[in-house]
Structure 1
């Protein structure tokens, strides 16, 4: 073979090899966007987890949609573009699963939480759930049971204590657990029921009772990838990271317990 032909072929081989490398690199660096709809109670740990995750997955953009689990469930059922859903109770996840909206074998229990009775920081006279029946207690904030898991758990608690009829006229409903927290922190209500993790985010409230777990259904936060996700591999990878030791450390820092 003549030298110039050999050189030409070598150059062509290098050219195509370079093209292949550039193409592969472009695919590897292609940006992926994920939308995660989550119960608002998880806002703080998930924001920190996002930062940690994106240090490792620099090509992944994560957008959070925080709200009441029931409202998020309805958005998904209406066709909202969501990749991952994290609920504050199994009920909303069960509803989506029954309609075939979850990607098979992606549902897992992520964390658990404790429910507490809170009052404004300077409040006196309320130290337990039983005190809510006192005549001086006029307004009690809970989540709206129709869409907010903490409200559904609150209803169970009152029912199991035989208090429902005594306090139902005093109930003030919040659209999210954070709204319930706000009502108490501002002093607009005498008491409220929230997650312990929410109570820890405000220095304007105090916890007066850690509510016994046998008074309500297990407070489990499940997670799953949605079947209509356009980035199922990336969504699976994100969910897997939520179960990493790094993510677990972040969840526990904010008061959550890792689901067994």
Structure 2
């Protein structure tokens, strides 16, 4: 009997393993923490493995265009995935908005940032971190906010640019910049600010940060890629996305 069970296990294990696959995902830096949480839940629920690479949307676009082996792209805007779509680089019909982001002015210091952003007009800081507005949608949104407030020229000498919103966050977290424009998801957990002080930037001060996802053309036959997109439409992923301060995309 033991020998029969052993033979059955040898037959069943390869079949079970064949059902699991890997999906390589290019992820905008603002979505790092949610992706890590989603990856764990996704593996638990589907058996598939999510392997993520993080960076600015512009940097990831360049890597994709140069042949980087990604299956799915989670961007920080809707323009870049639309551009890839127009260039024939994505699976037709796969593009959708998975989240809408929010921008925050944040400091690791508990009392530096007030609830109206008035600190930007003060001399209480020497350095203001933002992501590169040419490659990072959150950095571009930060420049729009400064323009809307009439502060772009005044703040220009104090700006410190990170290549991604992740690097901008690190400048502030490390104390190299007293405050910075970051993604709300980087400092927000389960309905509250994790640390420091922050001003949630009113959405009307910048263009909507609609974050789109696509399945890339080379992954058309990868079952894990489609499984991930389906998972992002599901309730468990939606709960994770909300917990980091995002609004849900239109199709969630």
TM-score range (shorter-chain normalised) is 0.7 to 0.9
- Alignment partners' CA distance in 2, 1:204 and 1:55: 30
Pick one of 118, 126, 137 that aligns with 1:138: 126
TM-score normalised per structure 2: 0.84
Residue ranges of structure 1 left out of the alignment (5+ in a row): 1-21
TM-score by length of structure 1 reads: 0.82
Partner-residue secondary structure (3-state), 1:228: helix
- Is 1:244 paired with 2:234? yes
Runs of 4+ with deviation above 6 angstroms: none
How many pairs are equivalent?
239
Distance 1:238 1:247 in 2: 10
Report the Cα offset of residue 186 of structure 1. Answer: 2.3
Contact 2:23 2:49 in 1 (8 A): yes
Counterparts of 2:246 and 2:88, CA distance in 1: 29
Residue 150 of structure 1: SS of its match in structure 2? Answer: helix
User: What is the alpha-carbon distance in structure 1 between the residues aligned to residue 115 and residue 182 of structure 2?
Assistant: 15
Does 2:174 align with 1:174?
no
Shift of 1:44: 2.0
Is residue 42–residue 50 contact of structure 2 (8 Å, CA) maintained in 1? no
* Structure 2 residue aligned with 1:69: 57
Match of 1:45 in 2: 34
* RMSD value, Cα: 2.6
Spell out, residue by residue over 1:100-158, the C-alpha distance to the aligned partner (whole angstroms, 9 max, x if none).
21110000000112111112324547664443243453211000112111111111111
Summarize the alignment of residues 77-116 of structure 1 with structure 2, pairs less than 5 Å apart: 77-116=65-104
Asked whether the equivalents of residues 126 and 132 of structure 1 are also in contact (C-alpha less than 8 Å), the reply is: no
Q: 1:118 to 1:125 in 2, by over 3 A?
A: closer
Unaligned regions of 5+ residues in structure 2, if any? Answer: 1-10
Please give the secondary structure, in 2, of the residue aligned with 1:63: strand
Residue 236 (structure 1) shift: 1.4
Question: Structure 1 pair 125/101, CA: closer, same or farther in 2 (3 Å)?
Answer: closer
Moved more, 196-205 or 86-95: 196-205
Structure 1 residues 210 and 203 mapped into 2: Cα distance closer, same or farther (>3 Å)?
Answer: closer
Residue by residue over 1:150-174, the C-alpha shift from the partner in whole angstroms, topping out at 9 and shown as x without a partner, is 1111111112222211211211001
Report the Cα offset of residue 200 of structure 1. Answer: 2.5
Q: Which residue of structure 2 aligns with residue 206 of structure 1?
A: 197
For the 8 Å contact 1:225–1:232, the answer to whether it is kept is no
Distance 1:131 1:47 in 2: 33
SS in 1 for 2:218: coil
Q: Which residue number in structure 2 is paired with residue 219 of structure 1? A: 209
Change (3 A) 1:79 1:139: same
Q: Give the Cα separation in 1 of the matches to 2:212 and 2:53.
A: 16
